[in-house]
Amino acid sequence: MVEKTGGHEAVVLRFPFPEVPAYGEIMEIRDGILMTRIPLPYRLDHVNIYFIRDTNGWAVVDTGIRTDEAISVWEQLFAGPLKGMTISKVIVTHLHPDHIGLAGWLCERCDAPLLTSYSSFMGSLYISLGGRESLTRHNFDFYRCHGMTDEIAGVVAIQGNEYLRRVAELPPTFQRLLQSDLLEIGTRTFRIYTGDGHAPEQVMLYCEEEKLLFAADQVLEQISPNVSVFPGEPNGDPLGHYLRSLRLMQSHMPEDVLVLPGHRRPFIGLRERCAELEAHHEERCDLIRDTCRTTPQSAAALVPVLFTRKLDAHQMSFAFTETLAHINRLVRRGEVEQLVDAEGLITYRTVTA
């Protein structure tokens, strides 16, 4: 779900917890705030899980992906460091399988309610319709009209079907978390922030008093969260939404907030990291603008301009939809225009003043 940030001098972030907990172990971040990690079957091999002390047990933030390995690490935790601990709430930050995958399983196992955003809950149910023939056909046509070959479009169009295997069935009900709501967990009060771009209405929890931000995947060290156009909203502007969310965090949160992210290490340096991510995306917009200046290019032809390494089908679907996110941003800004030929093939040309 993520891509390494390239081409920049890394900004200096501070890591108050340089060691991360091993699978099946727990690390204390603050009194009443715990962290663990659950394995993922990808190059990014783990997701961070947090626990917040509640009045009647512990609230858990995120759940992991549905694999036998992840479930066995959870069982190891319940038999070991979490023994005797009650899970009071299951909070899910967003609908990606590495975060929501075991929510249904955990809610049932712990008899706990699910709290998440409306978009996470509904979006997850929507993706579960992925096997529908009309959707597969739409996805195939979408990739084809942007210049992908039949062969690659055929593989990429059914990537979403993997989701069903990796996400346990959600509980029938949930409690909605909405931007600006206050959520009390134990003695702490959290303000809900929702950020778009990486996933719709991704939930973040901010405790102003203690300068703590559960940031999910909105900001991570070293890796730039994937920002993708979703084939159901082909002209969407997720990069615009993402950049807006970065600016909001920069202006609302203090310099020294402790960021507790969905992957890799907790860090201090939110504003610097937001600025760096913004610069990273601007650089990629520049590359597209330069490439489309002389000859119009399809989105598929622009993928290797942004992603120079060889990509498998899974990586190709993310690389393609991320490339399109940059193109759609430039179209919104009036810096690039869309051309459609008689066969319906879409290309983009830089607008010259």
- Binding site residues, Zn ion, CB under 5 A: 1, 98, 217, 262
CA distances from 209 to 188, 206, 264, 278 (A): 8, 9, 24, 27
| Least Cβ distance, residue 277 to Zn ion (angstroms) | 15
| Least Cβ distance, residue 199 to Zn ion (angstroms) | 9
Closest CA relative to residue 206, chosen from 253, 268, 255? 253
| Least Cβ distance, residue 187 to Zn ion (angstroms) | 29
| Strand ranges inside the chain, DSSP E | 2-4, 27-30, 33-39, 46-54, 57-61, 87-91, 114-116, 175-176, 182-185, 188-195, 202-207, 212-216, 223-225, 258-261, 267-268, 336-340, 346-350
Identity of the residue, 64 or 147, whose beta carbon is nearer to Zn ion in the bound complex: 64
| Least Cβ distance, residue 225 to Zn ion (angstroms) | 8
| Least Cβ distance, residue 293 to Zn ion (angstroms) | 35
Identity of the residue, 194 or 347, whose beta carbon is nearer to Zn ion in the bound complex: 194
| Least Cβ distance, residue 36 to Zn ion (angstroms) | 15
Identity of the residue, 170 or 199, whose beta carbon is nearer to Zn ion in the bound complex: 199
Tokens of 33: 């705030």
Q: Rounded to whole angstroms, how far apart are CA atoms 61 and 293?
A: 46
Count the alpha carbons within 13 Å of 211 in the hemisphere toward its beta carbon. 10
What is the crossing angle of helices 270-291 and 238-252, to 10°?
150
Identity of the residue, 177 or 285, whose beta carbon is nearer to Zn ion in the bound complex: 177
- Contact present, 272 and 226 (Cβ < 8 Å): no
Bridge partners of residue 223, in order along the sequence = 4
Identity of the residue, 225 or 231, whose beta carbon is nearer to Zn ion in the bound complex: 225
Identity of the residue, 147 or 262, whose beta carbon is nearer to Zn ion in the bound complex: 262
Tokens of 340: 């459609």
